[in-house]
Amino acid sequence: MSYFSDAWNWLIASQNWHGSNGIPIRLAQHLEYTGLALIIALVIAIPAGLAMGHLRRGGFAVVTIANFGRALPTLGLLVLIFVLTSGSILSWLIPLVALAIPPMLVNTYEGVLGVDRELTDAARGMGMTEWQILRKAEIPVALPLILLGVRTSAIQVVATATIAAYIGLGGLGRYIIDGLARDEYNVVAGGAVVIILLALAVQGLFTLLRRVIVPAGLRGQAQNS
């Protein structure tokens, strides 16, 4: 129980909420890493998943990328790219983007691919273009799975962005890396609690987002999310 009390005492200490090493600054850095990686992944994965799902092609590529994402040694990739890029922004951005793309791509592809063919055939019979079919029929039906993929990526990246501190960057991971280096386990425990709370906040945000933008009749597709 001492770790819980140590974490609590660290969290409520006023000095930990001010200065360049304070929780607000580290949180902002963490969100910057996470947000940039997710935006880039969204721009790549969502259009690709929509196109392949609509055309019903590229299944092998999607499976390959999904398997790659599961087997990706993020820390090893981080260190390798750090060495190759001399510590540029790419050293942490590429691993986080590579981690975020597979869940988004797979869920978007599967969501569009799973739309009832009778629905798309009926849309074509009404004279809709392929773009209109995608936008008005397939995307709304696939939206629960698409959001699930984005949420999965977001939670994974929030958790994994912690390793950016391993190569000397900021973020919430600094508390864990620095705390371990100095045997300050209250700092480690407190930093871990903040990271967990951030991940739970992301979970809650996507739950709310689903309720707002997904029609009630389609929410059942993501009941296990």
What are the pLDDT digits (tens) for 90-99?
888 888 998 8
Q: What is the mean pLDDT of residues 15-32?
A: 92
Domains located in the chain, CATH noted: 2-222 (1.10.3720.10)
**pTM for this entry:** 0.87
Residue among 156, 152, 118 nearest 137 (CA): 118
Q: What are 118's two structure tokens? A: 């009778």
Q: What are 159's two structure tokens? A: 């958790």
What are the pLDDT digits (tens) for 203-217?
999 989 888 887 766
Inter-residue contact 69 to 126 (CB < 8 Å): no
Residue 224 pLDDT exceeds 50:
no
d(CA 163, CA 30): 10
Quick one: pLDDT at residue 28? Answer: 95
Residue 178 pLDDT exceeds 50:
yes
Query: Quick one: what percent of the chain has pLDDT higher than 90?
Result: 45
Inter-residue contact 18 to 102 (CB < 8 Å): no
d(CA 222, CA 209): 13
Quick one: pLDDT at residue 148? Answer: 93
Residue 140 pLDDT exceeds 60:
yes
Q: What are 177's two structure tokens? A: 């890396």
